[in-house]
């Protein structure tokens, strides 16, 4: 078996995936630019492959098309699209671009279905998918109707069996129920469990955040299990949303925060003091915040003392609960990180050793498979090399993620049983 095939076939758990960031590039092109010339695009990609990544090509072509249609002002985003060392601010400009493109119900339904099927296709057995319910008056979209479109997308998943409800009242289970373990033996798994997190965007008002939390509560029966705070970390203050986050917690929703994406130590400390059930990213923690995190045992995994990190080929940042390893995308470029990949890998190794020694929760996530052109299997493959860990250890890493998920105990225990069963049948030495 090819090594990459092994990582694909291994059951995995994804706890930090944004719906919009996981959209297939091809779907964006097909839906939004029906006249897009794919043949021309591929020829161009072939001709220029030495100079530009597919990612850049894609966005360049997309932006040109959208510019011609007057949807965006190309000159404003051109420099972001063409460069390959984007700053965090510039990455968020790309997110804004995608948000412009995904604001009608049919598109939301379609991308939800496809994102779930893409994860299922690489043997993700449990997916916690997060999205910001959006209001778009010009399209007749409310936060509620946005979420209904998401649920419709889950219902439309037909290539694989899906379970996306958290209670019997809202039970939505398609396909052959109860055969998950049988199906998984021999890696012919056909079922994926999906739960949802509703995100509050840092650009929103407290009133909008409260609306999101109330919506999440109303949709508990449809598999909404928690609230996330995300968005451009340079925008807004997290304290604005504290009342909504507290309310969510009081009402039994789990809370996860994007924390420490930029070195705002005051905010990082306040977030850690809130004791969220999980934090994501956490790449800019100074010594005392790092200590606080480790003492708290909040599930998170963070690169320690990032300002000393460096890398041209890889950028590593903690994502979801764990590390996010993305080739050629430098999310923390604003910290001025440059250097060589070899040094970076050795730092990663030391970092991973520290995590193992202290038993702090470590979980690998993709964050945004589309924007960063990655997959969970790829993240596991890169991490195994970077950490110097074997298949067995990586398998255990995936299994542990179940414990930090927000899924109901009954499903968590089914998933753990599945991992245990597969553990006995996997050929780790191939
Ligand atoms: Zn994220």
Which has the closest alpha carbon to 257: 234, 282, 240?
282
**Distance between Cα 117 and ligand 1 center (Å):** 20
Q: What pLDDT digit, counting tens, does each position of 354-378 carry?
A: 655 677 777 788 887 766 667 888 8
Question: Which of 174-188, 229-243, 268-282, 301-315 is predicted with the least confidence, judged by mean pLDDT?
Answer: 301-315
Active site includes 261?
A: yes
Structural domains in the chain? 3-23+102-425 (3.20.20.140), 25-100 (no CATH)
> Ligand 1 centroid to 174 CA: how many Å?
28
Mean pLDDT across the stretch 33-62? 52
Ligand 1 midpoint to CA 197 (Å): 12
DSSP code of residue 247: H
Give pLDDT, residue 163. 94
* 355 within 8 A of 362, measured Cβ to Cβ: yes
Stretch 275-291: mean pLDDT, rounded? 80
Q: If phi over 0 gives left and psi between -120 and 50 gives alpha, with beta otherwise, what is residue 285?
A: beta
Residue 70 has pLDDT above 70, yes or no: no
Record the pTM.
0.78
Q: How far is the CA of 363 from the centre of ligand 1 (A)?
A: 13
Q: What are phi and psi of 195, to 5 degrees?
A: -125, 160
In angstroms, what is the span from residue 267 Cα to ligand 1's centroid?
A: 17
Q: Which runs of E-coded beta strand occur in 143-248? A: 161-163, 173-174, 191-201, 224-230
Q: Is the pLDDT of residue 86 over 70?
A: no
Given the residues 14, 128, 261, 379, the one annotated as active site: 261
**Residue 271, pLDDT above cutoff 90:** yes
Question: Per the structure block, which two tokens stand in for 344?
Answer: 């970076």
- CA pair distance 349, 352, nearest whole angstrom: 5
d(CA 328, CA 307): 18
Give 321 Cα–ligand 1 centroid separation in angstroms.
10
Mean pLDDT across 6-23: 90
Does pLDDT of 252 surpass 80? yes
Least confident of 228-232, 352-356, 382-386: 352-356
187-210 exposure pattern, b = at least 16 Cβ within 10 A, e = fewer: bebbbbbbbbbbbbbbebeeebbb
Q: Are 240 and 206 in contact (CB under 8 A)?
A: yes
Q: Which residues contact 138 (CB under 8 A, 6 or more apart)?
A: none
Q: In this predicted model, what pLDDT tens digit does every residue of 285-299 receive, in sequence order?
A: 777 887 888 788 777
CA distances from 239 to 46, 173, 274, 277, 300 (A): 48, 38, 11, 17, 21
Report residue 388 as tokens.
């110097």
200: CA distance to ligand 1 center in Å?
A: 12
């Amino acid at each position: 078996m090819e090594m990459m095939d092994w990582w694909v076939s291994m059951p995995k758990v994804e706890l930090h995936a944004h719906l919009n960031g996981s959209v297939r590039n091809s779907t964006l092109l097909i839906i939004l630019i029906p006249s897009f010339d794919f043949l021309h695009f591929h020829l161009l990609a072939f001709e220029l492959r030495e100079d530009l990544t597919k990612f850049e090509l894609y966005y360049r072509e997309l932006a040109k098309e959208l510019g011609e249609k007057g949807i965006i002002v190309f000159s404003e985003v051109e420099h972001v699209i063409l460069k390959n060392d984007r700053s965090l601010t510039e990455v968020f400009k790309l997110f804004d671009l995608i948000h412009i493109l995904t604001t009608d119900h049919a598109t939301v339904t379609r991308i939800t279905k496809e994102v779930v099927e893409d994860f299922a296709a690489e043997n993700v057995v449990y997916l916690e998918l997060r999205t910001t319910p959006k209001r778009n008056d010009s399209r007749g979209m409310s936060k509620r109707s946005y979420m209904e479109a998401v649920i419709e997308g889950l219902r439309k998943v037909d290539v694989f069996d899906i379970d996306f409800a958290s209670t019997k009242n809202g039970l939505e289970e398609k396909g052959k129920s109860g055969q998950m373990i049988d199906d998984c033996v021999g890696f012919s798994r056909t079922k994926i469990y999906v739960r949802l997190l509703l995100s509050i965007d840092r650009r929103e008002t407290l009133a909008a955040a409260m609306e999101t939390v109330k919506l999440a509560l109303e949709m508990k029966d449809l598999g909404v299990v928690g609230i996330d705070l995300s968005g451009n970390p340079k925008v807004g203050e997290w304290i604005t949303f504290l009342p909504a986050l507290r309310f969510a917690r009081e009402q039994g929703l789990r809370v996860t925060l994007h924390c420490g994406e930029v070195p705002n130590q005051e905010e990082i400390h306040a977030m850690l003091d809130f004791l969220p059930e999980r934090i994501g990213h956490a790449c800019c923690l100074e010594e005392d915040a790092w200590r606080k995190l480790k003492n708290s045992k909040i599930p998170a995994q963070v690169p320690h003392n990032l300002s000393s990190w460096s890398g041209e080929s890889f950028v590593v940042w903690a994502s979801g609960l764990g590390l996010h390893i993305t080739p050629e995308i430098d999310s923390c470029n604003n910290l001025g990180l440059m250097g060589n990949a070899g040094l970076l890998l050795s730092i990663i190794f030391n970092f991973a050793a520290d995590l193992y020694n202290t038993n702090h929760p470590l979980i690998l996530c993709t964050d945004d498979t589309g924007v960063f052109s990655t997959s969970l299997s790829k993240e596991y493959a890169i991490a195994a090399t970077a950490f110097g860990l074997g298949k067995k250890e990586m398998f255990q890493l995936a299994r542990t993620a179940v414990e930090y998920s927000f899924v109901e105990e009954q499903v968590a225990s089914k998933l753990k049983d599945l991992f245990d069963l597969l553990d006995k049948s996997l050929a780790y030495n191939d």
